[in-house]
Structure formats: structure tokens, C-alpha cells
Amino acid sequence: MINRRDFMSSALAGLAATQVPEVLAAMPVNTVNTFQKAHWLQNGLIDAGGTHEPYIFLVRRGGGSRDIRNYYERQQSEPVISRLKEQGIEVFHTHLYKGFGMEAERAEMEDTKRAAEIAHGHGLRVDTYVQWNSMMYETFFAEEPRAKDWIQRDAAGQPILLIYGYQQSYRYRPCFANQEYLEYLKKVVRYAVVEVKTDFIHFDNFDLNQEPDSCHCHVCVPGFRSYLKAKYSAEKRRERFGFENTDFINPPQWNTQNPPQKLEIIFDPAIQEWIDYRCQLMADALQQVALYAKSLNPEVVIEINPHGITGANRAWASGVDHARILKWTEVFWTEEENPAGYSADGRLVSKIRSFKLARTSRNILLTPFSDNTVAVAESLAFNQTIGYAGEDPIHPALLKYIAFYRANRDLFMATEDVASVAVLRSYPSITYHNMRAQLAAILVEQTLIQTRIPFDLIFDEHLADLSKYKVLILPDSECLSDAQLSLIRRFVDQGGGLVVTGAAGLYDEWHRLRVEPGLSGLVEGQPAGDAYLERVQDRETATAKPTREEHGKGRVIYFATLPFDGAPPEPEPYFEISNKYWKLPKNWEEFAQGVGWAGQDVSPVRVGGPPYLVANVVSQPAKKRILLHLVNYDAKNTKTINSIEVACRLPQGTKAQAVIVYSPDLDAPQSLLSNRGAGEISFTVPQVNVYSIVGVSW
Ligand SMILES: [Zn+2]
């Protein structure tokens, strides 16, 4: 395993000490390195299968139809592959390796090789399923007896299983700290790249189980202790734990009185470090395997399935820190159950957060749509490509969108997100206090989404360069390091707008209460924070008016709270903020106005409309064009949204040439009349059914 501290020091060795912001050294991410992305992916992605299940698994799982063999053979047959090709699919998704062991799966891996040849013969690329995280011990141990030492074991030494209900207890989880397992996985990768000639590897189940189901194996326990020693100097260890010798620290254990799913704020330094160890373990293993695949063929795309931003505490619960792992991928999957739509109780459910995560990390997101055309529109608007179109037979509702995308591909190529607002998703704040920091982030994002204020999601490392933004929002970002606070102050000094909510800045990156609030002098009226609590109490936060302060050229606005509108749902296990919470906060209008004030009203675009109309803005600088994507999330009940007023800022000294609407709901593109002022243009979009794109060129 590459140690982060070593990695960071060598990566930053070339910089003078004063240039190495402490913020980087304190960050839980490899901020510098990644690999060259496959060039062919710049053309977008339309991926569909095929099945990713080998025959052996369909049988072992039980309950299948008696003609399961026919299904398996059909899904990799010439007729299915050529039909997918005719329907506009460009990448064929198929099984390769499920975790039974290469000997047990040999015959089916050879089937994949044949199917890949057929697909390549039809001009399709090939996406092969490789199980990252399953070891079917019944066959695997027969092939490789040493594998008994490669599996994850709980505190009692029992194997840790995948969590698919009662009946998949034959699926052990391998340990990613075990180099021998990683070497085995590389043999599968080698087969995929060299034998199958795959263009794309899908690593499934990229996560870890929730506590108390974490690995206490013979590698992890000593590995955790040496990790602490490598990460911190003796002096730092004394500051962190009160003592120097970490040789006896164990991964956390739990008792029935205090189950981990009830832990609301994580103070314990050893638990915090254990979360970091698990996240880093996954990132390091991925880095190693991904670089190996790239060494065999740099044009092989690396994809994993860690899910996206779901409202769960992903680092704590699943060992997933997206900011670390998505440096080693080009595409990722989310199977989160947040289908695009607008509910009767006023919740706008979407995967926009996951798409924005993908854009920030220069990835493409794959997610199933079934027959939900709003979800396909969401992907085109926020992903700038289709992604995953499903399994043969492709749902007819999707075919129209695939055809539209292929006919208008130049609208989606080489686009850049246009946003002057950044929302910080602070790793320590969310990881150590999901109930507060995740909820605040969700409510802030919800307000920006439903008021159509374009924004980016940013992560800790991005505070080092905020030059793209006019406004930075800190949604209860309670854990900020000294270095991060200086970067934030510098942003305001240079004329930036800062929007702060709740407890932002009250703690440091270890969740230690600051003596002086981190944002003091910038923020007025912030209630004091609590230090160590045996039991977390519900706090009543007054809904005071926001306080506004001008600081030289910069502006700061503080909201003590963004209250959930209505009776808050009962807390969920591990304090997940699921889509029960995904609606506008009570003071959303005041908050949206506050963001406008902080940014001195220089929004790139203003779009009118109801709270279920969503907008995304991208630009194509080379084509001198801005593209405004409009999606009607309530298309099920509201067939048409009429007369949408738009005002759009253009680059200085330019004048709009044309405004054209493109839509799968229109027979042909439509030209709009507009008012062209200096550097700005305004127009009315007559109607949006499900999805329209407005191109403004200059
Ligand atoms: Zn382990």
C-alpha cells in the first residue's frame, strides 16, 4: 500500500515549504496524481448489455428459470449484439468474472472472449464486468487454498459477507489490504485486457460493509497501526491520541448498548483514523489495479460501482471517499434509488448530486433509467451523455433519446460547466457529523437546484483554487483546518462572496472545538459549539434573520439555520439523509436571495419557472456557444411548462447571433426571437415538455 503521507511528501517535494499549503498535507486525498484518460471516451458513452451474470452464478444463486442457460447464451449472441448496434448502442456490456475463481469460470470467460470478438466485429466497444469484491469460497478455496487468508474477517474472526439478504452467504469479501488478493485480481484484469481485448472494465461492488462489519484480519490490524505511525510523527501522535505508541490500538469494537448505527458525532480519534484507513485502503488498491490495467493498454477505461452522493455517510459506512477514488476512474456507477421526479409532497428527487460529483471529478456517471424519460433527460443535461441504456431489450422510451443524442452529438461534446457558485462538501464535517453537515449540504443543494442557480460541488482540495467562483457556500462545514480557513479568508479579501450556515468553522479537521470560531470577524451571531458530548442533544436553533457583512470588496452572509420544512423524518440508521429530506428548506427564498447578494448578482443565467423545472448550463468556448438544458421533473403530471423567461450573460464585447431550441419533444430545432443587449440576452422559451436545450451562440 502506498502511504498517503509518503505519497504527499514525494509529490510535493519539489515545492518550497512556504508554497506547500498545510491544507494539502492535511487533506484526506491524493490531490496530485492520476492517469491519462482513454481518448475514445471524449466522444461520450452509450453502454448496454448483455447480461453481466455468468451462468455459474445464475445457477448457484438459485430460483432461476429452467431455461436460464438459453437466457445466458442469448445475451451474448450475435442477434442481440447486432440489435443493440442498430439501436444506437456503442459499448456492449457483458460478464467476465464473478468471483468463483478463474478455473471455475474458465469456460464462461472464454464465452466472453467470443462475444467480445462479435461485438468488435460490429464496431462496438466492449465493457466487461469484473467483480471487485466477491470471493465465492466454495470454488475459490478449492482452486487457491491460500485464499482463506485473503478474506475480510470481523472482530470475532468470522468471514465478512456481501449483504444481499439471507441467501448469498457463499460470497465472502476479500481484504483489499491483502497484496496476494490484489495480485490475483490483476490476473483477471490481465485476462480482460490481453485475452478479451476489453475496452472497458467495470469493477462491481466497490465498497465495504458498515460497522460492526469491518475487517480485523491479520493484515488490517497491524496495517492500521503502521498506518498511524507512517501518517503522524511521534509528536503528532501525542497530539492526536495523548500517547505515542500506537502498537496496541485496535479497529473499533462495539457493544449492544452502543450500536454503531446510533453514533451521531464521531469524536474518537481512533475511529476517525479507522475511517480514514478504510477509505485510503480502497483508494490505494484501486490505484494499483487501475495503473496495472493502464500499463497493459492506456485506452482501457476504468469504471467502479461505489454509488454516488446518496445522503448516506459514505466514508463512515462504506469506506468510500469519492474525492480519493474517482482520481483512478473515468466512469462510475450509482445504483442509488433516487429516480428523477417530483413527488406529491413537494420533494424533487434526482441524481443531480451524483452527476455533479462526476463532473467535478471528470468522470461519466452510469445509472439505470428503466422507462423514466426524465431520468434520461437528467443524464443528458448533467452528464452530457447517455451513460447506461440497460439490458436488451432496450426500453422503447429510451430509443427516442438515444437517437436524439446521436443526431445532435455536437451539442454535448467538449462542454464545460458554467457556474459561479461552489458548494463545499467537506469530508471531515460530513464524515464526523452526517446528521448536521450532510443535511445542510442537501438543503443548500436543493435550494440551488430548484431555483435554477448553477453551481458546482467542490471537495476539500478545491479550496486551494476558487478562481472560477463568485460565491462559496459552507453548509454547516463545521470541520475546517487552519489552512482551509486562510484560503476562505483570502477568497473574501479578493472580492468573493461567502455564504455560511450553522456551525461552519467551529471545529478543526479532527472535530476539536475551536477556542475562537474559525470564521470570527467574517461571521456575526454564530451560536457557540459544543465540545465532547456523552449524548447528543437536540438543539433548538433560532431562525434569526441572516446577518450580512461587507468586507472590502467581498461579502459574507450568515444563516444560523436552514430549517427543514415540516416535521423532520425520524433519524435513520447511521443518520442517513435519504430523499425523505430532499425538499426546499423553510427559508429557501431568503437563502436564494442571499446567494445572489453575496455574488453581487453576477449569475451567468437567470431562468424563471416552477420549482420542478431544473436547469443546467454548459459552454462550448470553441464553438462560441452556451447551452441551457431544461428538464421538467414533474412531466408525469405537468405535461408542459409554458413561457419560461431566460436572461443570459455573454462574454464581454460579444453580441448574440442566434437562439435555437433543440428537443426530443420537437420535430425540428426552433429559432427564438430575443432581446439582445450589451453582454446580455433575454428571451422566452415557449414550452418545455420533458427536455429542451437552448443554444445561445455569439
Ligand atoms: Zn483486512
* CA-closest candidate to residue 627, choices 342, 418, 343: 418
Does position 684 have pLDDT exceeding 90, yes or no?
Answer: yes
Q: How far is the CA of 61 from the centre of ligand 1 (A)?
A: 26
Identify the weakest region by mean pLDDT among 99-108, 469-478, 540-549: 540-549
Q: How far is the CA of 334 from the centre of ligand 1 (A)?
A: 25
Q: How far is the CA of 1 from the centre of ligand 1 (A)?
A: 13
What Rg, from alpha-carbon coordinates, does the chain have? 26
Give the pLDDT score at 51: 95
pLDDT averaged over every residue in the chain? 93
Does position 20 have pLDDT exceeding 70, yes or no?
Answer: no
Q: What are phi and psi of 41, to 5 degrees?
A: -70, -15
User: pLDDT band for position 18 (50/70/90)?
Assistant: very low
Q: Give the pLDDT mean for 308-319.
A: 98
What is the 8-class DSSP label of residue 512? Answer: P
Q: How far is Cα 414 from Cα 417, in angstroms, rounded to an integer? A: 10
pTM of the prediction? 0.94
User: pLDDT band for position 326 (50/70/90)?
Assistant: very high
Q: How far is the CA of 212 from the centre of ligand 1 (A)?
A: 14
Residues comprising the chain, all counted: 698
Q: How far is the CA of 222 from the centre of ligand 1 (A)?
A: 10
Give the pLDDT score at 56: 98
SS3 of 645-676: the string is: EEEEECCCCCCCCEEEEECCCCCCCEECCCEE
Q: How far is Cα 191 from Cα 183, in angstroms, rounded to an integer? A: 13
Report whether 88 contacts 106 (CB < 8 A).
no
Give the pLDDT score at 29: 43
Q: How far is the CA of 210 from the centre of ligand 1 (A)?
A: 14
User: pLDDT band for position 21 (50/70/90)?
Assistant: very low
The fraction of the chain above a pLDDT of 70, given in percent, is: 95
Does position 64 have pLDDT exceeding 70, yes or no?
Answer: yes
Q: Give the pLDDT mean for 595-603.
A: 91
Give the pLDDT score at 539: 65
Q: How far is the CA of 218 from the centre of ligand 1 (A)?
A: 7
Q: How far is Cα 449 from Cα 421, in angstroms, rounded to an integer? A: 12
Q: How far is the CA of 620 from the centre of ligand 1 (A)?
A: 47
Q: Give the pLDDT mean for 47-73.
A: 96
Give the pLDDT score at 540: 63
Report whether 562 contacts 501 (CB < 8 A).
yes
Assigned C-alpha cell, 207? 465498497
Q: How far is the CA of 440 from the centre of ligand 1 (A)?
A: 34
Angle CA(528)–CA(436)–CA(566) in degrees, nearest 5? 105
Query: pLDDT digit string (tens) for 342-399?
Result: 999 999 999 999 999 999 999 999 999 989 999 999 999 999 999 999 999 999 999 9
Q: Give the pLDDT mean for 116-132.
A: 98
Place of cell 466512469: 331
Q: How far is the CA of 7 from the centre of ligand 1 (A)?
A: 22
Give the pLDDT score at 218: 98
Amino acid at 624: K
Give the pLDDT score at 661: 98
Q: Percentage helix, strand, coil, to 5, in the chain?
A: 35, 20, 45
Give the pLDDT score at 675: 84
Assigned C-alpha cell, 252? 473499533
Q: How far is Cα 156 from Cα 521, in angstroms, rounded to an integer? A: 51
What is the 8-class DSSP label of residue 203? Answer: E
Q: Is residue 415 packed enough to be buried (19+ CB in 10 Å), middle (13-18) or exposed (0-12)?
A: buried
Q: How far is the CA of 372 from the centre of ligand 1 (A)?
A: 40
Q: How far is the CA of 187 from the centre of ligand 1 (A)?
A: 21
Query: pLDDT digit string (tens) for 417-461?
Result: 999 999 999 999 999 999 999 999 999 999 999 999 999 999 999
Give the pLDDT score at 542: 62
* CA-closest candidate to residue 117, choices 75, 87, 77, 86: 77
User: pLDDT band for position 543 (50/70/90)?
Assistant: low
Q: How far is the CA of 407 from the centre of ligand 1 (A)?
A: 49
Q: Is residue 566 packed enough to be buried (19+ CB in 10 Å), middle (13-18) or exposed (0-12)?
A: exposed
Q: How far is the CA of 278 from the centre of ligand 1 (A)?
A: 9
**Cβ contacts of 349 within 8 Å, gap of 6 or more:** 338, 339, 340, 341, 342, 343, 579, 582
* CA-closest candidate to residue 335, choices 100, 52, 655: 52
**96-132 exposure pattern, b = at least 16 Cβ within 10 A, e = fewer:** bbbbbbeebbeebbebbbebbebbbeeebbbbbbbbb
Q: How far is Cα 619 from Cα 621, in angstroms, rounded to an integer? A: 6
The fraction of the chain above a pLDDT of 90, given in percent, is: 89
Q: How far is the CA of 223 from the centre of ligand 1 (A)?
A: 8
Q: How far is the CA of 224 from the centre of ligand 1 (A)?
A: 9
CA neighbours closer than 13 Å in the CB half-sphere of residue 231: 23
